[in-house]
Amino acid sequence: MNQQIVSLLDAAALRYGVDPALVRAVAYVESRGEPDAVNKASGAAGVMQLIPATAKALGVKNALDPVENIDAGVRMLANLVRRFGDNSRALFAYNMGPGRLSRGAAVPSTVKQYALNIAARRAVEGGSEASALHAARSANPAKKSLLPSLSASASSLRESLSEERADVLVLRAELSAVTVALDECRATALELRSQLESVTVERDQLKRDLEAYGDTQPESTAS
């Protein structure tokens, strides 16, 4: 495999937490690391030999693009290792499909041989610097001891966030109630102003009527 492909494989392996030697071995057995490899029978394509349905599910637009193909293939392999708990079963699932394996389907001899071929190739690839780094990270007890603490901190933060969100919802409800009350007060004020203006007009009209009535009365004469 050329160095560019190896670099992409190692980077993806470290990104998704998979042994780079395993990733290299899968790529070698699947396609010899050839980006333009295509299986005419299944339609599997690229370095990690993604079938069209799998490529689509993983969001791959061009299965022959080594960057896309390797990222998606290694991401899937990492998920399978976590899901099935060991490399052998993950490799069975990568080859025959996780659904069939989960339903308890028998593992064909060809699939078992596929996993053995990858295991043999992994031994060849195991001396890489990336694999050594992965092994060191996996064996680091300090890193593992931090996980419960980090998990507890994350849980505490989630609880605090939930409480903050609840407080925000309460404040929003109170603000909405205040806004409704304020709108009602404004409407009442407008109505009272209208009534006041009407009363003022009526009062002024009465004043004018009284003045006009007084002007029409004859002045009284002393007897």
Q: Indicate whether 99 and 69 sit together in one domain.
A: yes
Look up the domain containing 176 and give its range: 156-211
Q: Indicate whether 67 and 163 sit together in one domain.
A: no
Active site residues: 30
**What span, in angstroms and rounded, lies between the C-alpha atoms of 39 and 41?**
6
Q: Indicate whether 80 and 181 sit together in one domain.
A: no
Q: What are phi and psi of 50, to 5 degrees?
A: -85, 130
pLDDT of residue 105: 86
CATH number for position 94: 1.10.530.10
Predicted TM-score (pTM) above 0.85: no
Q: Indicate whether 17 and 40 sit together in one domain.
A: yes
pLDDT of residue 139: 47
pLDDT in tens, 6-31: 999 999 999 999 999 999 999 999 99
**What span, in angstroms and rounded, lies between the C-alpha atoms of 29 and 21?**
12
Q: Is 97 within 8 Å of 83 (Cβ atoms)?
A: no
Confidence of residue 43 (pLDDT cuts 50, 70, 90): very high
Which residues, 6 or more positions from 37, have their beta carbon under 8 angstroms from its beta carbon?
30, 31, 45, 46, 47, 49
pLDDT in tens, 162-194: 667 767 776 777 777 778 888 888 888 888 888
Q: Indicate whether 57 and 12 sit together in one domain.
A: yes
Beta-bridge partners for 85: none
Q: Indicate whether 64 and 105 sit together in one domain.
A: yes
Q: Is residue 13 part of a domain?
A: yes
Confidence of residue 222 (pLDDT cuts 50, 70, 90): low
Q: Name the domain count of the chain.
A: 2
Which has more pLDDT, 197 or 150?
Answer: 197
- In 3D space, the residue among 9, 35, 31 whose CA is nearest the CA of residue 134 turns out to be 9
Q: Is residue 70 part of a domain?
A: yes
